Chains A and B, each alone.
Chain A
């Protein structure tokens, strides 16, 4: 990174008055991979959100499902004359519909879980970095303690106690993810709090709350954004793993992980589509999110800027 001469405005691209967010969008837009990832994600997310209107069938409505249509191959015609584009599962559910509804649940669990985990992690990380003392020591011990266990094990134990359910999976995701955020955000906040603008804010008699929320937090947004994005993908795969293992969402609201698990028994007998298509959907979703997060990291990391 070359420091511009003090008398010349920095970075030519940013000479016009532009908020950092606008600046970020401008650089994001210029990155093919990032835009591609975002487009794929938006299409998948839109399809998932619109599932009730675009899905050929309501997979939760047992009256709409015909058991005689079970395990039809993609494109095969059923007795009633319906053609299922991606086939059906063992209970005769249309796979296209099941995947769309499954995506909905996977995305919802991932996004909601991540939002809460980020909120808790930000609160813990910011206050630990700024307030210090016993609060920081205590919180960070807790974080270290929690991160010393494999996340999936913690989640498994929690769900074994609480039982299945979408809300419980979200709770498990919050519990296993907040510590990671707390650590990342504390690290970022520790760097920022030693900069002189924080001292200047103290010198202007601002409250600790104002300094944390108005001065510290906005300057820690970059790592929050990057880690938050990447961790949505990891929250989605945590959910999928839990559901695959049979402790996640209930069978009445199948997520992608549960669909994969349902088809697993038939994989060996050549009825691949029940597992593989939900798997492909999950893969596309996770790869798209990871690409966005990865490019965001490159864009936001000043050390990688040329």
Chain B
């Protein structure tokens, strides 16, 4: 269902580099012939991901692999340094001012930190009502009505509109963040670790809120988490990311049942089994390499139990391995 028709949002060969600035000490050392460390981080490297209207796509990967960077690019907060972002088929880099605003508002981001993502100097009512007021989506008393409506929709008592964020609980704050996003009638929510900072009991409630909103508003989601069990609960399709690259992509059920990429297999083995007596993680063997100097070839080869000789210098491409399933591994060529 997902890969037919024009997707609502498509990332095509999207990349993002960050330049690390060289500080004074390094500049001095460079005078004595010590070359400074590699300066560029390739946070996202040629990622392809299309999301169809109404779909929930999960994005999974270890911390630092570039999920938040990808999320910011998708939401239009951060421009990619390579590749194209298409919203309903159109390159967002070429949009005029009005179309750009429409794209910006229709794709809203929900942030991980429910505290840092709310302006501490604004009341809940202002936080939620500012955008509709500024963009003329509501005027006068209609602003307060709109605020009350979305607050109700996310399960917040509208009487909290006069509170400041520090007077709310973590779960309430995250609901304010969701209400703020809904205030501009988005079609697409990019949720970057949106439940990771919440207590376990609240986490389930907020996840269910996302599912309700999907049903009631027909929302589309890019749902990012380092936690596979959360993604399994909510996603139709899943993409697995490792050191800036998408290494596997496919329908959630199939991907969880028969992971094809060795990294996905390792991640799935890492989910704690409650049935086991010892509740211990079986970690993916080895350290996550520094994104500053990723291993050549397949980034995963130093940790991969199946690594071949060519894995060390040849980057595997993301290729279809079964209907709807894509994988970036040299082992796929041998089958």
The answer to whether B177 and A200 touch across the interface, beta carbons within 8 angstroms, is yes
Cβ of B108 under 8 Å from chain A: yes
Find A203's partner among B75, B121, B135 (CB 8 Å cutoff): B75
Cα–Cα, bound, A15→B114 (Å): 18
How many residues belonging to B are interface residues under a CB distance threshold of 8 Å?
39
Q: How large is the interface on A (under 10, 10 to 19, 20 to 34, 35 or more residues)?
A: 20 to 34
Which residue in A8, A10, A199 is a CB contact (below 8 Å) of B72? A199
What residues of chain B lie closer than 8 Å to A81, measured between beta carbons?
Answer: none
Binds A, one of B195-203, B236-244, B269-277, B304-312: B195-203
Report the Cα distance A6→B201, complex, angstroms: 11
Work out how many contacts link A and B, with CB atoms closer than 8 A. Answer: 92
- Within 8 Å by CB of B169, from A6, A197, A203, A210, lies A6
- Which chain B residues border A200 with CB–CB below 8 Å? 109, 111, 117-118, 177, 180
Which residues of B sit under 8 angstroms from A218, Cβ to Cβ?
119, 121
- Tell me if A196 and B202 are in contact (CB < 8 A): no
**Contact flags (1/0) for A201-230 with B, using CB distance below 8 Å?**
111111000100011001100000000000
B113 on the A face (CB < 8 A): yes
Residue A270 CB within 8 A of the other chain: no
In the bound complex, CA of A261 to CA of B72 (Å) = 62
Docked complex Cα distance between A203 and B100 (Å): 11
Give the complex CA separation of A210 and B135 in angstroms. 12
Q: Judge whether A219 and B184 touch: CB under 8 Å.
A: no
Q: Within the complex, which residue of B117, B130, B164 is in contact with A19, where a contact is CB–CB below 8 Å?
A: B164
A245 interfacial by beta-carbon distance below 8 Å: no
Within 8 A of B (CB), among A1-55: 5-11, 14-15, 17-20
Q: Given contacts A6-B197, A6-B199, is CB(A203)–CB(B108) below 8 Å?
A: yes
Is A195 in contact with chain B by the CB < 8 A criterion? yes
- Give the Cβ gap from B19 to chain A, nearest Cβ, in Å: 13
- Give chain A residues whose Cβ lies under 8 Å from the Cβ of B164: 17-20
B96-155 contacts to A, CB under 8 A, are 101, 104-105, 108-109, 111-114, 116-121, 130-131, 134-135
Q: B95 contacts which chain A residues (CB < 8 A)?
A: none
Q: Does B170 contact A (CB under 8 A)?
A: yes
Q: Which single member of B111, B131, B177 contacts A205 (CB below 8 Å)?
A: B131
Contact partners of A7 in chain B: CB under 8 A: 169-171, 199, 202
**Residues on the B chain within 8 Å of A201, using CB:** 119
- Expressed in whole angstroms, the Cα–Cα distance for A202 and B168 within the complex equals 24
Q: Is the CB of B77 within 8 A of A199?
A: yes
B residues 285-325 in Cβ contact with A at 8 Å: none
CB contacts (< 8 Å) of B121 on chain A: these are: 20, 218-219
- Closest B residue to A199 using CB positions: B77
Q: Are A199 and B163 in contact (CB under 8 A)?
A: no
Cβ of B280 under 8 Å from chain A: no
A196 and B168 contacting across the interface, CB-CB below 8 Å: no
The interface residues of chain B lying within 8 Å CB-to-CB of A210 are 134
Q: Are B108 and A219 in contact (CB under 8 A)?
A: no
Q: Is the CB of B202 within 8 A of A206?
A: no
Of all A-B residue pairs in the complex, the 4 with the closest CB atoms, nearest first, are A6-B170, A196-B117, A204-B131, A218-B121
20 contacts between A and B (CB under 8 A): A6-B198, A7-B202, A8-B169, A9-B168, A10-B167, A11-B166, A14-B166, A14-B167, A19-B164, A195-B116, A197-B117, A203-B75, A203-B77, A203-B104, A203-B109, A204-B131, A204-B134, A204-B180, A205-B104, A205-B135
